[in-house]
Amino acid sequence: MSHMNPVLSVIGTGYLGATHAACMSSLGFTVVGIDTDKEKIAQLSRGELPFYEPGLDELLKVEIASGRLTFTSDFSTAAQADIHFICVGTPQKADSLAADLTYIEGAVAALVPYLKPGSLIVGKSTVPVGTAKKLLDQLAITAPQADLAWNPEFLREGFAIEDTLRPNRLVVGVTNDRAEEILREVYAPLLALGTPWIRADLPTAELVKVAANSFLATKISFINAMAEVCEAAGGDVTVLAQAIGYDPRIGNKFLQAGIGFGGGCLPKDIRAFMARAEELGARQALEFLREIDAINLRARQRVIGLVRAELTQDLGAYKIAVLGAAFKPDSDDVRDSPSLDIAAQLRAAGASVTVHDPKAIVNAKKRFPDLTFAASVTECISGSDLVLHLTEWREYRDLNPADLISLVKNPIIIDGRNALNRDRWIAAGWKFHALGRSNA
């Protein structure tokens, strides 16, 4: 690849791919986004984002208008490109903890007929360690003119553009200097910002991603375990988190106790990591992740326990209001949302459950048609016997508890995210519960 301005293809235009395509175009590259989902491609081509991500819809429109960014479902378009980023999903398999690699395998197979001599496939999807080597071995037979690298992506929903254009680090797994040089050229504008560059072998690059997500999941479950102990001992986990967080070796990020982690990455990644470790004969090394997963799921049950303690064991007669459906604020993603899991379990136990969310109602409705959805907080909590605050949108933090009290039947709120101002709610006359904080 001697020329300085390679054409890029991005295979898979979901969260990761749509963001990567728009951001690479903003760096000046010609980018074609390819996906088998024709509806998604039609939407993106019109400059519409099929999901919510702050700032990305504007960027998408600007990049399409620049003429550099196009979308298609026609794989033969990939023939124009020199570098192919694989951004397809790797969801959890329905029947096990392992990751489903169908989309990755399909994407690479679909590319094979269109790979130019010297082209580079760059995997960005999160995969079980060993996947890249296997794909490279297959390419040696089906497309020996091409090379493969792995370049994991660490973007957070809600910060997708920032994490792509100003990442904490760039990690590239390669098998030769040429592949590294190509990627250095592609990411030159980011390297110029001083972004740390880590060259690794293929398995290490794959492992970096799951190790990072396992560490983050561990931090969250650690503080949620402390929350359980605080509840038992009459302590306050929010004060504890603040106090340990001042130690720079611990750090204060990802120590927010509450109903735990969800979303499209952390839960499935730790499970797939355990499944892969077992295959590799290293099951014991990741046994602790089973406990991390269990602590995380237990947080949801603790909220349900609090509800039952406040109301009665028979929830049939009660109306429960749930604030928040997305797995975290500033997102419309409801994949493995702890909030919706709690809402659905309360519904299954007989309660009538009304859910509000500033952005995620459409997605939530598709997955949980049994729940009732409200267009406003007022409508959601009117006549309710208990309010659950389960996704910490700014809009909820800014609510005035004194204004709300006349709307509810019973002024009881459970803060599942430790994000509301407890004193303010209590002063306004509410009975206030939070995970990991004694109510003394």
Smallest distance, ligand UDX to C-beta of residue 218, A? 12
Smallest distance, ligand UDX to C-beta of residue 330, A? 9
Using CB under 6 A, pick the residue from 35, 53, 147, 157 that binds ligand UDX: 157
Q: What 3-state class would DSSP assign to 130? A: coil
Binders of ligand UDX in range 244-273 (CB under 6 A)? 254-256, 258, 260-263, 265-266
- Tokens standing for 35? 């996906």
Q: Which is nearer to ligand UDX, 401 or 416 (CB)?
A: 416
Query: Which residue's structure tokens are 């130019």?
Result: 116
Smallest distance, ligand UDX to C-beta of residue 259, A? 7
Q: What is the DSSP string of 135-153?
A: HHHHHHHH-TT-EEEE---
Residue 24 to residue 8: CA distance in whole angstroms: 8
Site string for ligand UDX, 173-212 (x = CB under 6 A): ----------------------------------------
- Tokens standing for 232? 């038992």
Annotation marks residue 265 as catalytic: yes
Q: Which is nearer to ligand UDX, 202 or 334 (CB)?
A: 334
Catalytic residue among 23, 87, 230, 265: 265
Binders of ligand UDX in range 282-321 (CB under 6 A)? none
Q: Which is nearer to ligand UDX, 154 or 373 (CB)?
A: 154
C-beta neighbour count of 167 within 10 angstroms: 17
| Residue 180 identity | E
DSSP state of 114: G
If residue 237 lies in a helix (H) or strand (E), which one and from where to where? Answer: helix 237-245
Q: How many residues touch ligand UDX (CB under 6 A)? A: 19
Q: Which is nearer to ligand UDX, 6 or 50 (CB)?
A: 50
Using CB under 6 A, pick the residue from 83, 216, 230, 412 that binds ligand UDX: 216
Q: Which is nearer to ligand UDX, 41 or 220 (CB)?
A: 220
Using CB under 6 A, pick the residue from 56, 155, 174, 325 that binds ligand UDX: 155
Pairing, β 31-34 against β 69-72? parallel
Stretch of residues binding ligand UDX (CB under 6 A), selected from 74-82, 155-163, 180-188, 430-438:
155-163
Contact 420, 324 (CB under 8 A): no
| Residue 188 identity | A
- Tokens standing for 50? 């099929």
Smallest distance, ligand UDX to C-beta of residue 109, A? 26
Q: Which is nearer to ligand UDX, 338 or 411 (CB)?
A: 338
Q: What is the DSSP string of 53-112?
A: -TTHHHHHHHHHHHTSEEEES-GGGGGG-SEEEE----PBPTTSSSBP-HHHHHHHHHHG
Smallest distance, ligand UDX to C-beta of residue 375, A? 23
Q: Which is nearer to ligand UDX, 81 or 216 (CB)?
A: 216
Contact 334, 367 (CB under 8 A): yes
Smallest distance, ligand UDX to C-beta of residue 392, A? 8
Smallest distance, ligand UDX to C-beta of residue 252, A? 9
Q: What 3-state class would DSSP assign to 387? A: strand
Residue 432 to residue 440: CA distance in whole angstroms: 11
Residues across the chain: 440
Using CB under 6 A, pick the residue from 61, 133, 134, 156 that binds ligand UDX: 156
Q: What 3-state class would DSSP assign to 372? A: strand
Q: Which is nearer to ligand UDX, 393 or 432 (CB)?
A: 393
The verdict on 218 binding ligand UDX (CB under 6 A) reads no
- Tokens standing for 33? 């986004």
Pairing, β 431-434 against β 120-123? unpaired
Q: Which is nearer to ligand UDX, 302 or 328 (CB)?
A: 328
The verdict on 213 binding ligand UDX (CB under 6 A) reads yes
Residue 167 to residue 196: CA distance in whole angstroms: 9
Query: Which residue's structure tokens are 């952390």?
Result: 266
Binders of ligand UDX in range 101-140 (CB under 6 A)? none
Site string for ligand UDX, 317-356 (x = CB under 6 A): ----------xx----------------------------
Smallest distance, ligand UDX to C-beta of residue 121, A? 20
Query: Which residue's structure tokens are 């995210």?
Result: 417
Smallest distance, ligand UDX to C-beta of residue 433, A? 17
Helices 131-142/202-233 angle, 10° precision: 160
Contact 365, 343 (CB under 8 A): no
Task: Note the residues at the interface with ligand UDX (CB under 6 A).
Answer: 154-157, 213, 216, 220, 254-256, 258, 260-263, 265-266, 327-328
Catalytic residues, by residue number, are: 265
